[in-house]
Amino acid sequence: MADYLMGIDYGTGGAKVCIINPEGEVLGFVFEEYPFIHEKPGWSEHDPLLYWQIACRLIAEAIAQAHINPRNIRGIAVSSALPSMVMVDKDHNPIHRAYNLMDRRATKEVEWLKGTIGEDRIFKSSGNRMEDHPTIVNLLWEKNNRPDSFKRIHKALTIDGFITLKLTGKAVLNYSAACFYGVAYNIRQRQFDEKLLQEIGIPLDLMPDLFECTEIVGEVTREAAAETGLVSGIPVAAGQVDCNAGYLGAGAIEEGDFQSNLGSVGNFGVIHKNTDFIFSPVGYVMINFAYTVDSKNTYITVPSTTTGGQSIRYLRDNFSQMEVEMERALGVSSYDLLNLQAEKIPPGSEGLIILPFLMGERTPIWDVYARGVIFGLSLNHTKGHIVRAMMEAVAYALYDSFRLIKEAGLKINYPLVLNEGGAVSKLWRKIIADVFDVPLVLVKRRTGAPFGDAILAGVATGVFKDFAVAKQWAEYIEPMEPSQENHQRYMQYFDLYKRLYENVKDDFRALARLRDKS
C-alpha cells in the first residue's frame, strides 16, 4: 500500500492542492482563484464560505487526477498567507468576511496600542511591528466597531486554521503562524501573554491551541470526509505559513538558505537561528517568525512587499482586456502576452518609475497610507513600459529590504532561489538578478507551497525521517548572473525611487484624510 501525502495551500489570491507519493512525484495538482472584496478603502477581504467550498472541490479533483484511493493518504498539512483572520462562532460558522493580509482598516487601533501599551514593549515580546495589522490588532478593531458580533467570536483563526478546523473539528495554531497574531504573542516563549491581552481587552480564550508545525493535531472527521471525498481518520499536521511551505518545497532547510516567492505578495526569506537579529534595528523593520524545520528554535526573516505578483494581476484585470480575451480565445497566457510587450522595453523603462504600494506597504517602510504612483509618464510610454516599470518597482521594493539585511551581516547562501507566481517570467527574474546584483536560479518543480505542505505531512506522520528529502528533491534550473551595467543603471533609478517616496509620503496621509471625508 502506497503512502500518499496531501498538501493544501491558501495564498492571497487562490488555493492549491497537491498529492505526492513517497518518492516526491506529484500525482495530482489543482488550483482555483478566489475573488478579493475591497468594499471600503483599506479593507481587503475574502468570503470565508468559499474557502471550504473550494477545498471540497480541489481535494476531490486532486484525488481524481492522482487516480488513488483516498484510504491510502497517510497525512495532510495546510498552509496559508498571513496575516489573515477567520472569526468563527461556537458552531464553527464564520462571523463576517475573512481578513486577508492586504487589509489595513485598523489604523486607529495601531495608534491606540502605540500610545497605551508602547511600541517597544510590544516589539520586545512579539519581534514584529503592528503596522502589518496582525490578528490581535484586527480583533481590537472588531471589538471597537462591531461589539455585538465580537461577543459571538469563539475562536480567531488563520485561513489554514479554519480549513484545519473544518477537517478535524480542532481549533489550532502552529508556531510559524502564531507570530502573525502579534502584539501579545511572545516569539521566544512561544505563548500568548495573558496579562498583556487583559490590558488590551482581548480574551485569551479567543486564541487557538498552539503546536509545533510538525505535530499531529487531529484526524479527518466523518463529516469532512463526506464533503471532500477523503476518508475519516487521516492525520492532519499543525501546518505552516504559506511562504515557509513554498521555501520548503524548493529545498530551503538550512541556515542561510535564501528564497523568493512572487505570488500575490512579493517576498523573500532568509533562514536563521539569530534572535539577536530579530530584535535588532534591521529586524525591527522586517517580518520575523518561526520556520517549519525545528519550529521551536529556527526562525525566518521575510521582507515583503504587499502587492508583488498582485500588481501585475491588477494590470491584467483592469487594463488588459485584449490580452484576457486572447487567452480565452486562443489559450495563450495573458501574462505571457504582457511579458512580450515588457521585454521590448530597456532597463529603467525609459524614465518611468512606479511606486507599487497599491494597498499600503510592508517592509521596510511600513506605511499603511502609501499608494501607487506612476512618475515620469510620457506620450512615448506604452503598456509594455508600464508592465516593465511595475516589475522593476516590485524589485526595488524587495531590494530596499535586501540591502539592509546584507549590510547587517545575516548569513546568506547564494544563489537566490526563485519559486512560484511571477517567477515564471524570465524577464522578471532578470530584473531581480540585476537589481539585487546576485546570481539566481529557478526551482524546476514549481508546485510551490502545497508541495511543501505535503512534505510537512510526511515528516509529521513519519513517512519521512526528516526534511532532508526537500533538499534532495530540489532541482534548480536556468541560472542567471547579474549584469553590472544594468545594476548600476538600476541603482540610479532606485535612488530616485527612494527620493520620490520621501517626497510624497506626507501627501499620502493628506490624501487619506480627503478620501475619508468623501
Residue 395, CB half-sphere, CA atoms under 13 Å: how many? 29
Beta bridge partners of 155: 88
Give the residue, 399 or 447, on which the prediction is more confident: 399
341 and 207, same domain (yes or no): no
The answer to whether residues 369 and 464 belong to one domain is no
Assess contact for 338 and 320: CB atoms under 8 A: yes
pLDDT digits (tens, 9 = 90+) for 344-366: 999 999 999 999 999 999 999 99
pLDDT digits (tens, 9 = 90+) for 166-200: 999 999 999 999 999 999 999 999 999 999 999 99
pLDDT in tens, 473-482: 999 999 999 9
Cα gap 199→196, rounded to integer Å: 5
Q: pLDDT band at 421, cuts 50/70/90?
A: confident
Contact 253, 268 (CB under 8 A): no
**Are the CB atoms for 388 and 349 separated by under 8 Å?**
yes
Per residue in 5-35, pLDDT tens? Answer: 999 999 988 999 999 999 999 999 999 999 9
295 domain-assigned: no
Residue 153 has pLDDT above 90, yes or no: yes
Q: What is the pLDDT of residue 265?
A: 86
Q: Say if residue 149 is in the same domain as residue 81.
A: yes
Residues 184 and 81 in one domain: yes
Q: Is residue 245 located within the same domain as residue 366?
A: no
262 falls within a domain: no
Instruction: Assess whether 469 and 376 both reside in one domain.
Output: no
pLDDT at 443 over 90: yes
pLDDT (0 to 100) of residue 441? 97
**Inside any domain, residue 347:** yes
Check the CA dihedral 417-421-426-429 and report its sign: negative
Answer left, alpha or beta for residue 409, where phi above 0 means left and psi between -120 and 50 means alpha: left
The answer to whether position 102 is within a domain reads yes
Q: Residue 400 — very low, low, confident or very high, per pLDDT cuts 50/70/90?
A: very high
Give the alpha-carbon dihedral of 102, 106, 112, 117, to 10 degrees. -50
Query: Mean pLDDT throughout 227-253?
Result: 97
* Mean pLDDT score, 234-255: 96
- 116 pLDDT more than 80: yes
Any domain includes 357: yes
Instruction: Judge contact between 303 and 267, C-beta under 8 A.
Output: yes
- Contact between residue 160 and residue 239 where contact means Cβ atoms under 8 Å apart: yes
Same domain, 240 and 364: no
Question: Containing domain of residue 59, as a range?
Answer: 4-250+447-476
Strand partners, 354: 374
Q: What is the CATH number of the domain that holds 424?
A: 3.30.420.40
- Residue 243 has a pLDDT of 93
Predicted TM-score of the model (pTM): 0.93
Q: Do 426 and 355 reside in the same domain of the chain?
A: yes
Q: Please tell me whether residues 112 and 246 are part of one structural domain.
A: yes
The C-alpha cell at 123 is 516589539
Number of folded domains that form the chain: 2
> CA-CA distance, 95 to 140, in Å (whole number)?
15
Neighbouring C-beta atoms of residue 297, cutoff 10 Å = 10
The answer to whether position 374 is within a domain reads yes
Report if residue 151 sits inside a domain.
yes
Considering the domain architecture, whether residues 217 and 328 belong to the same structural domain is answered as no
Report the Cα–Cα distance between both ends of the chain, in Å, rounded: 64
| 392 within some domain | yes
- How far is it, in rounded angstroms, from Cα 288 to Cα 291? 9
Tell me the average pLDDT across 401-411: 97
**Are 320 and 344 within one domain?**
yes
Kindly indicate the confidence band of residue 1, based on its pLDDT and cuts at 50, 70 and 90: low
Alpha-carbon distance 7 to 275, whole Å? 30
Residues 180 and 329 occupy one common structural domain? no
